Amino acid sequence: MELLIAMVTNFLASDLALLGAGIAAVTGIGAGIGMGIATGKAVEATARQPEALGKIRTILLLGLAFAETTAIYGLLVSLLLIFVA
């Protein structure tokens, strides 16, 4: 009986880890949407004030780096859940 309980618990833990990995991988979608919106707004701002291109580009690249970092963290968490848990 104890062996059966251990097997069921192990099976459920691995399934929950895979579910968590899938949820963590969804962060890539949010990061992609955010980067698309930010890039679109930067293009609009450049079209309105072409002389501010340098400042807009700097702020855009900094924001894109933060958004990409969020996506990479989600990927890292999902890989850890798949291969470690």
Q: pLDDT for 47-71, tens place per residue?
A: 999 999 999 999 999 999 999 998 9
Name all contacts of 13-16 with Cβ < 8 Å and 24+ positions apart.
13/85, 14/85
CA proximity to 30, closest of 60, 72, 62: 72
Q: pLDDT for 3-51, tens place per residue?
A: 666 665 666 667 777 888 888 888 888 899 999 999 999 999 999 999 9
Please state whether the predicted TM-score (pTM) of the whole model is above 0.75: no
Domains of the chain (ranges; CATH) run: 2-83 (1.20.20.10)
